[in-house]
Each structure stands twice: as structure tokens, then as C-alpha cells.
């Protein structure tokens, strides 16, 4: 339990890199924690906990995606595997740096632009709701969202590169 609590932020970030929403992350982590508890005897030593736990979380995430896939569009297994591999390679410090950079960069956008950037992660139809509330069409908002995401990604990469040097 102590090891799970210690590494929960890294496992949560890892799961979020694979899964489409926070509810799915919570469910996958709960299932993974039960599996970890059941298979604790397979863990060689405490130093190997995080890689061992990431394997379990990965399988729980992929299982959750298989369930979601029946209900809506989801990335292919190959793309999900690539994302999971990249996320697994990041250590907890890198994840913290990226999250800090993301928060810093996101705060530099206006409130409406922040809302638009976060809309795709707030649930189905949020961008459409924003379009209905304002003067822009859904298509125009998606085009703006693409430009904002590019600016956000450039900012995050710049902050992360600065912290690493």
C-alpha cells in the first residue's frame, strides 16, 4: 500500500496518457490496485515496483479501452501502445516537469481560450456547446483549438527544455 501511494501520481499520469478521461483513469487504477494486491508476491523488490505496477496499469487501461471502443471512436491499438511506451519511459520527475510546464503555459492563455483548450477533455459535445453559446461555428472553434494546441505545445516544449538544461 505504501508503494502504491508513493507512486500513485506517476501511475495516474501514466494511465491518463492512455485513457480518454479521468473517470476511466480512476476505474483502471482501482482495478490495478486490486490486481497489485493480489499479485504482490510476484514483486521481486521495492525498487521494481513502479515498472511492475505500470505493466498492470497498462493492461487495465487497454482493457478499459476495449470496453469503450464498443461505444465510440478510440485510437487504434498500435497508437495506444506507442503512447503507453512513451509514457512508461518517462520517470516521475519528467512527468512533474511536464505538468508544471503545462500549468504555466495554460495560465498564459485567456480564460475563454483555456476553456476551449480543456473542452475536449470535459466530455462529449463540450466544443459544440461552446459554439452554441458564442458567435463561432463548431468548425471555426476546432480550427482555433488546433492553433491554440500548437501554441500550447510549443510553450510546454520550451519550458521543459529550459528545465532540463
* C-alpha to C-alpha distance for 150 and 96, rounded to whole angstroms: 21
Question: Is 32:3 a contact under the CB 8 Å cutoff?
Answer: no
Q: Give the range of the structural domain holding residue 27, as residue numbers without chain letter.
A: 2-90
| Residue-wise pLDDT tens digits, 113-151 | 988 888 887 766 788 888 888 888 888 888 998 999 999
11 — pLDDT class (breaks 50, 70, 90): very high
Note the pTM of the prediction, 2 decimals.
Answer: 0.49
| Residue-wise pLDDT tens digits, 46-86 | 788 888 999 999 999 988 887 766 655 555 677 777 777 77
**Domain match, 32 and 59 both:** yes
112, 98, 101: which is closest to 10 by C-alpha? Answer: 98
* C-alpha to C-alpha distance for 5 and 17, rounded to whole angstroms: 19
**Domain match, 16 and 61 both:** yes
**Domain match, 67 and 106 both:** no
**Domain match, 63 and 81 both:** yes
Amino acid at each position: 500500500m505504501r508503494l502504491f501511494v508513493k507512486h500513485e501520481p506517476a501511475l495516474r499520469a501514466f494511465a491518463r496518457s492512455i485513457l480518454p478521461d479521468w473517470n476511466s483513469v480512476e476505474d483502471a487504477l482501482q482495478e490495478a490496485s486490486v490486481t497489485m494486491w493480489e499479485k504482490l508476491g510476484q514483486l521481486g523488490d521495492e525498487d521494481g515496483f513502479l515498472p511492475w505496477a505500470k505493466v498492470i496499469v497498462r493492461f487495465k487501461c487497454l482493457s478499459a479501452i476495449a470496453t469503450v471502443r464498443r461505444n465510440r471512436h478510440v485510437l487504434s491499438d498500435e497508437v495506444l501502445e506507442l503512447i503507453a511506451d512513451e509514457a512508461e519511459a518517462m520517470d516521475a520527475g519528467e512527468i512533474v516537469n511536464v505538468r508544471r510546464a503545462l500549468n504555466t503555459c495554460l495560465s498564459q492563455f485567456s480564460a475563454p481560450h483555456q476553456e476551449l483548450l480543456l473542452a475536449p477533455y470535459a466530455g462529449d459535445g463540450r466544443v459544440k456547446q461552446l459554439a452554441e453559446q458564442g458567435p463561432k461555428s463548431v468548425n471555426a472553434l476546432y480550427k482555433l483549438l488546433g492553433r491554440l494546441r500548437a501554441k500550447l505545445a510549443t510553450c510546454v516544449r520550451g519550458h521543459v527544455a529550459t528545465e532540463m538544461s
